[in-house]
């Protein structure tokens, strides 16, 4: 499910795994490879410094051969419930200056218990993509023109198979 406003969007996925496993997929380097869409054995390992002000980083490979680093700087962490990060990477895309975190998209990932068919336990994961009020409407429109909504949706679609 996708909800869109003039300053952001929200994507929701119901995943066939307990909340702890979905949270771990976002916070443990050995489980974060789903974000990049590559299998183990490719020449990088994701990194995670799980603390407010710490960063996570992955190397993304696109089908057209373009590759780059991306990630984020944590702004808030509530274990098992919520992650908030400024999206980007130093020397990557989007370019991120740790001293200017309000200039890049802010992503909030929340995790809630969900009941799946047959009474199994799953997780409802919601990813909210937005911007600080200081980011102009023109800059927000430029971001949307880059295809960030479709890109984030395609990235999130890789998570369910990785949890199986």
pLDDT in tens, 68-120: 889 999 999 999 999 999 999 988 888 889 899 999 999 999 999 999 889 89
pLDDT in the model for residue 5: 64
Confidence of residue 36 (pLDDT cuts 50, 70, 90): confident
Q: Tell me the three state secondary structure of residue 64.
A: coil
Q: Hey, CA dihedral for 85, 48, 150, 67, is it positive or negative?
A: positive
pLDDT > 90: percent of the chain: 57
The predicted model scores a pTM of: 0.90
pLDDT in the model for residue 34: 85
pLDDT in the model for residue 1: 63
pLDDT in the model for residue 66: 74
Number of domains in the chain: 1
Is the pLDDT at 42 greater than 70, yes or no? no
Who wins on pLDDT, 142 or 65? 142
Buried/exposed code over 139-153 (b: 16+ C-beta within 10 A; e: otherwise): ebeebbeeebbeebe
C-alpha distances (whole Å) from 102 to each of 97, 129, 150 are 10, 13, 22
**Structural domain of residue 9, as residue ranges?**
2-163
- Which CATH number characterizes residue 132's domain? 3.30.530.20
DSSP string, 11-34: EEEEESS-HHHHHHHHH-GGGTHH
pLDDT > 70: percent of the chain: 92
pLDDT in the model for residue 3: 60
pLDDT in the model for residue 6: 83
- Give me the long-range contacts of 36-42 (CB less than 8 A, separation at least 24): 36/60, 36/61, 37/61, 37/155, 37/158
Confidence of residue 4 (pLDDT cuts 50, 70, 90): low
CA distance 8 to 34: 24
């Amino acid at each position: 499910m996708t909800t869109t406003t003039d300053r952001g969007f929200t994507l929701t996925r119901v995943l066939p795994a307990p909340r702890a496993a979905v949270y771990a997929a976002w916070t443990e380097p050995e489980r974060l490879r789903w974000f990049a869409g590559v299998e183990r054995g490719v020449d990088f390992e994701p990194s995670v410094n799980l603390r407010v002000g710490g960063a996570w980083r992955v190397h993304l490979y696109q089908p057209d051969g373009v590759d780059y680093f991306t990630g984020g700087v944590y702004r808030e962490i509530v274990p098992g419930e919520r992650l908030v990060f400024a999206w980007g990477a130093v020397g990557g895309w989007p370019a991120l200056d740790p001293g200017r975190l309000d200039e890049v998209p802010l992503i909030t990932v929340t995790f809630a218990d969900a009941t799946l068919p047959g009474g199994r336990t799953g997780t409802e994961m919601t990813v909210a993509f937005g911007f600080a009020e200081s980011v102009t409407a023109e800059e927000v429109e430029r971001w949307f023109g880059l295809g960030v909504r479709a890109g984030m949706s395609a990235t999130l679609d890789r998570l369910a198979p990785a949890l199986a």
